[in-house]
Amino acid sequence: MTELCKDRGGPPAVPTDPPAEPRRRRERLPFRLAVPPVSGVLRPRQVAVSAGLAAAAFAVFCWGMTIGDLPIAVGDVVRALFGHGDPGNQLIVRELRLPRALAGLLVGGAFGVAGALFQTLTRNPLASPDMIGITQGAGAAVVAGLVLGIGGGLGTQLLGLLGGFGAAALVYLLAWRRGATGYRIILVGLGVAWICTSVTDFLMARGARQEAQSALGWLLGNLNGRDWPQIIPLLWALAVLLPAALLLGRQLRDLQLGDDVARGLGIRVQWVRVATLLTGVGLAAFGAAAAGPVAFVALAAPQIAQRLARTAWPPLIASGLAGALMVLVSDLIARTLIHDTELPVGVVTGVLGAPVLLWLLVRANRAGSGG
């Protein structure tokens, strides 16, 4: 068209789109450090999204600690967190309100990263620990302990861990046929999820009223009463599992090219799948053990992070920060929506996450991948 205008003596056309190569350079900035010897690719938009989510999560984290029988200003909360200001405020913030806020931050982060791992592994946005049976297995184990007394002495945390890992092992073994593909993991996981849900419902119906109410409070996902005994194991788990997830991220991206191409690049496909599955199950199981199976966070947070960062897969760090922000905001709503009543945080995340699930299903149907 430019040549045509020149030939006819018209004004030259002004190009509207920048050349493709400079745009790619702006989206990916390679770097290399001499000390320590590290090289990689920096994506400015992904860094900016992570920084924005971290700032928002910290703001909500501090805001949540201003609410209580004795309201405290945000500035005083920040000073108390760093050991400054009024001693009374320091006692209230650091001893009484910090454990709950920290539990919401860590649980949301664990579920967000676990969901990103599962969705990248299976190449399916609907794959998350609460869709393929992991959290349902943890719930069935905890309810069995509360109602039947099976392993009741282990406590809800250890029972939840055992149930989550048991469900994951069952899914992987049933999906195995000369290897386990993401498609078979999802199909088998849906079946295992419904089996665990049916077992939980049966046990709840057979249990006494007090036991059923206790189990229901855990199954909904609840931050009320969470303290350091629930937070310390989750902190240790994140200290081990988050670096493992970041190390697996590069190989997971190579798996997006297909098994044959990944093998050609030197990736041990089945080993990466098993390691990713164990890391994701560990994050989801420790998160569920600390606060119960908080619904839809593992499903929605990676999709939110992926859309904000405009990447082809859910970015791990941004997904964890989006999950933390989602749980903190939901807990804030759960505590303030009804006067003198604190709803379980899982009720709010379920209400917020259900539209996200419907949107994903509609989008998959329009793309022709929804069956």
Measured CA to CA, the distance from residue 263 to residue 255 in angstroms comes to 9
pTM to 2 decimals?
0.83
Q: Which of 22-26, 240-244, 251-255, 306-310 has the lowest mean pLDDT?
A: 22-26
Measured CA to CA, the distance from residue 288 to residue 20 in angstroms comes to 45
**Cβ atoms of 301 and 329 closer than 8 Å:** no
Ramachandran quadrant class, 226 (left: phi over 0; alpha: psi -120 to 50; beta: rest): beta
Average per-residue pLDDT in the chain?
81
Measured CA to CA, the distance from residue 162 to residue 260 in angstroms comes to 34
Measured CA to CA, the distance from residue 303 to residue 98 in angstroms comes to 29
Q: For residue 40, what are the CA distances in angstroms to 28, 29, 105, 290?
A: 10, 8, 29, 35
The pLDDT assigned to 184 comes to: 80
% residues pLDDT > 70 (the chain)? 85
Q: What is the mean pLDDT of residues 23-49?
A: 72
Q: What is the mean pLDDT of residues 339-349?
A: 83
Cα 199 to its chain centre, rounded Å, is 25
β 29-33/38-42 pair status: antiparallel
CA dihedral over 127, 357, 347, 321, signed as positive or negative: positive
Q: Rounded to the nearest 5 degrees, what angle is found at the Cα of 301, between the Cα atoms of 30 and 276? A: 65
Report the length, in residues, of the chain.
Answer: 371
Two structure tokens written together for 305: 């992070």
Measured CA to CA, the distance from residue 193 to residue 185 in angstroms comes to 12
Measured CA to CA, the distance from residue 93 to residue 100 in angstroms comes to 10
In the block, which residue shows the tokens 């089996």? 195
